[in-house]
Amino acid sequence: MSTYRRLIGLPVIALADGTRLGTVRHLIIDSGKAQIVGLALEDGRWWRPSPVLLLRDAVGLGDEVVTVRDRAALVEAPGQPELEPLLLGERPLVGQRVLRVDGSLLGWVTDYAFDPRSGRILSLEVSPDGAGGADDSDGAVAPQLVAYQQVQVLGPDAVVVAQAVRQEPRHAPLPPPPAPASVASAPVASPPEPNRTTETAADAPCEATGAAPAGQPTATTGGDLARLFRERQERFLLGKVAGRPVLGRERNVLVEAGTTVTQEILAKVKEAGKLLELTASVSISRDDQS
């Protein structure tokens, strides 16, 4: 299984000579078939159409790189009849609003998973506030996974899901830590006998930090992972150039096309909950490709 969020920004490497052919800029979707058909690349050559790697020609979609046999695997969209209609009416799936049949809002698409062989979309990650990877330690704004079988329409302006889909946390709330034993009721321990195995620091709770015993989940695990992802995402975005405008909730322009992402712009986009839209928008500068 591959995901949109994992692929964006990955380098594409030719196995024939080990050269870098570009970076994944966005995914091309056939909405009628709910299928990923290709990867649009940024190769630093702004004066010509972006090269496209058809999914069927990819050798591997790895965690660190995408591999192809050689440069001949890349094509230009204007010469591909199967791609031209898709690109003309293309709307990014990430950032799309998700509605139930009765018109009530479930949230916004923040990621999606697909089969790397067939390209078939398997599920959507939907967040109630449009900010993927939000801290879900309290279950308040955690994104949820919606199986594609629940999707009724994958349209250009909205995704419509079954009425039965409800907004629920993706992860079940973690159980509360066990209450510490009462000091007053605990019996007075006798001095340890020789060669008796005593409790190790790994087995006992850490009173200074409030950490749970080893092997027991902590309530901050999800938040820590989300924070690490956001930090990595923000480092990726700084210095990149927006390839298309990023709009806010009220359809106001947050970032103009061609704008270089700075700390100030990043802070504004974060406040609006539009980091994923900015990620989909940025183009890799030519210096990054060299």
User: For the chain, what is the radius of gyration of the CA atoms?
Assistant: 24
Predicted pLDDT at 116: 93
Helix (H) or strand (E) holding 227: helix 221-237
Predicted pLDDT at 225: 58
CATH fold for domain 2-88: Photosynthetic Reaction Center; Chain H, domain 2 (3.90.50)
Contact 8, 279 (CB under 8 A): yes
- List every span in the chain annotated with CATH 3.90.50.10: 2-88
| pLDDT above 60: residue 219 | no
Predicted pLDDT at 193: 53
CATH number assigned to the domain with residue range 221-289, chosen from the 4 options 3.90.1580, 1.10.357, 3.90.105, 3.40.50: 3.90.105
Residue type, 51: P
How far are the Cα atoms of 36, 67, 122, 264 from residue 56, in angstroms, in the given order?
Answer: 10, 12, 17, 40
Place of tokens 């700075």: 262
- Retrieve residue 227's tokens: 């924070």
Query: How confident is the model over 48-91, as pLDDT tens digits?
Result: 667 899 999 999 999 899 999 999 999 887 667 677 667 665 67
Predicted pLDDT at 73: 92
Averaged pLDDT of the chain:
75
159-161 and 151-154 as β-strands: parallel, antiparallel, unpaired? antiparallel
- List every span in the chain annotated with CATH 3.90.105: 221-289
| pLDDT above 50: residue 102 | yes
Residue 276 makes CB contacts below 8 A (sequence gap 6+) with 5, 94, 95, 110, 111, 130, 131, 132
pLDDT band at 99 (very low <50, low <70, confident <90, very high): very high
* Sign of the CA dihedral running 114, 222, 109, 163: positive
| pLDDT above 80: residue 183 | no
Residue 215 makes CB contacts below 8 A (sequence gap 6+) with none
CATH fold for domain 97-161: SH3 type barrels. (2.30.30)
CB-count exposure of residue 19 (10 Å: 0-12, 13-18, 19+): exposed
Contact 279, 233 (CB under 8 A): yes
- List every span in the chain annotated with CATH 2.30.30.240: 97-161
Say what percent of the chain tops pLDDT 90: 31
Predicted pLDDT at 32: 85
pTM for this model (two decimals): 0.54
Predicted pLDDT at 156: 83
Residue 150 makes CB contacts below 8 A (sequence gap 6+) with 161, 162, 164, 165
| pLDDT above 60: residue 201 | no
Q: Can you tell me whether residue 187 is helix, strand or coil? A: coil
